[in-house]
Amino acid sequence: MVNTSVTLCGLPMDNPIIPASGTFGFGYEFADWYDINLLGTFSFKGTTREPRYGNPTPRIAETASGMLNSVGLQNPGVHAVIAEELPRLKKVFHKPVMANVSGFSEEDYVYTCQLLDKEPQVGWLEVNISCPNVHNGGMSFGTLPESAMAITKAVKAVTTKPVIMKLSPNVTDIASIAKACEEGGADGISLINTLMGMRLDLKKRKPLLANVTGGMSGPAVFPVALRMVWQVYNAVSIPIVGLGGVSSAEDVIEMMLAGATAVQVGAANLVDPYACKTILEDLPRVMEQLKIDSLSEIIGGAH
């Protein structure tokens, strides 16, 4: 019998599999497909202080082995998330959930995190300082060590639960940003958010996305994500949540060997609603093939 359990920032998880924010809604959509309590946890849709419609459509484009999205943080706002989404989730999911938070100012982050920190259903706060699809905010916090540290400190000052900072890959030096978050008191780092890309409509001679650029995800970005997890593992001593193109049990193990304590699965959920379930079913067999008894023992094992 193989052991898939891991501990992320002090909280035990049955397995390291976490559907990524923005690909799993508030969970109950996927409960129509399978029992989502099989998962380690999931990270819910990026939540902001105020409700957001997001960007105009089209918001989706295809790429080679991947996709672009420019959803732009559509969400009902933190108050509706607490009043409506969490109670609905409670009926179908009985584990601590990862609360994903975005903002446009330090105060936004503080406000939203403070509220979600008090919710008993929330196990971790994942603070997204890396959304490429919103102007004046989001990603800009994640591209400078100073602002990354400032947001981390501000959120840590008002919360009690583990704070995981979610980083952008669209930077020159990912390790310096991760280190700044660690110095600011972060309990963990998750990476990567999407790579900024775009596509054109050749007939219309215009960008395919109404927002012009979007975030690229899917297997295409996996090698970049793996490289950054590797670099951040060398730079910090807090746990890392690895994500970016993960689509199979083998990818999960590759991410963990590079340094991830837990692994998020994003775009794969969108092209196959059973993606995470399949990964969980495949994991024991792949672990046995690779002579892995316990997943927690391989974290960073390729260094």
Partner 1 sequence: MKKSIFTLRSQNEIAPRTFELVLNGDTDDLDKPGQFVNIRIQGYYLRRPISVCNVTPGRLTLIYKVVGSGTEVLSRMTVGDELELLTGLGNGYDLTAAGDCPLLIGGGAGVPPMYLLARKLAEAGKRLTVILGFNTAAEVFYEDKFKALGAKVLITTVDGSAGIKGFVTNAMEGLDYSYFYTCGPGPMLKAVYDSSATEGQFSFEERMGCGFGACVGCTCETKYGNKRICRDGPVLVKEEIKW
Q: Which residues bind partner 1 (CB under 8 A)?
A: 22-25, 29-30, 32-33, 45, 53-54, 57-67, 69, 71, 74, 208, 218-219, 267, 269-274
Choosing from 113, 131, 181, 276, which is the catalytic residue? Answer: 131
Residue of the chain from 10, 12, 56, 301 that contacts its own copies (CB under 8 A): 301
Read off the amino acid at residue 254.
E
φ, ψ at 44 (rounded to 5°): -80, 170
CB of residue 49 to its own copies, shortest distance in Å? 26
202 is an interface residue for its own copies by CB under 8 A: yes
9 classed as catalytic: no
CB of residue 200 to its own copies, shortest distance in Å? 5
- Total residues at interface with its own copies (CB under 8 A): 43
Closest Cα partner for 23 from 240, 215, 285? 215
Residue 232 three-state SS: helix
When CB distances are held under 5 to 8 angstroms depending on the partner's kind, the choice from partner 1, its own copies, none that residue 224 binds is its own copies
- Residue closer to its own copies (CB basis): 80 or 290: 290
**Residue 219 DSSP class:** G
Is-contact 192 168, C-beta < 8 A?
yes
213 is an interface residue for its own copies by CB under 8 A: yes
Name the CA radius of gyration of the chain, rounded.
18
Six-digit token pair at 249? 């049990």
CA distance linking residue 68 with residue 55, whole number of Å = 13
When CB distances are held under 5 to 8 angstroms depending on the partner's kind, the choice from its own copies, partner 1, none that residue 199 binds is its own copies
Residue of the chain from 92, 196, 210, 270 that contacts its own copies (CB under 8 A): 196
- Residue closer to its own copies (CB basis): 9 or 68: 68
Write the binding mask 170 to 189 for its own copies: x where contact by CB under 8 A, - elsewhere: xxx-----------------
Q: Which residues pair with 207 in a beta bridge?
A: 200
What is the enclosing helix (H) or strand (E) of 195?
A: strand 195-197
- Residue closer to partner 1 (CB basis): 51 or 137: 51
Q: Is 64 exposed, middle or buried (0-12, 13-18, 19+ CB in 10 A)?
A: exposed
Positions marked active-site = 131
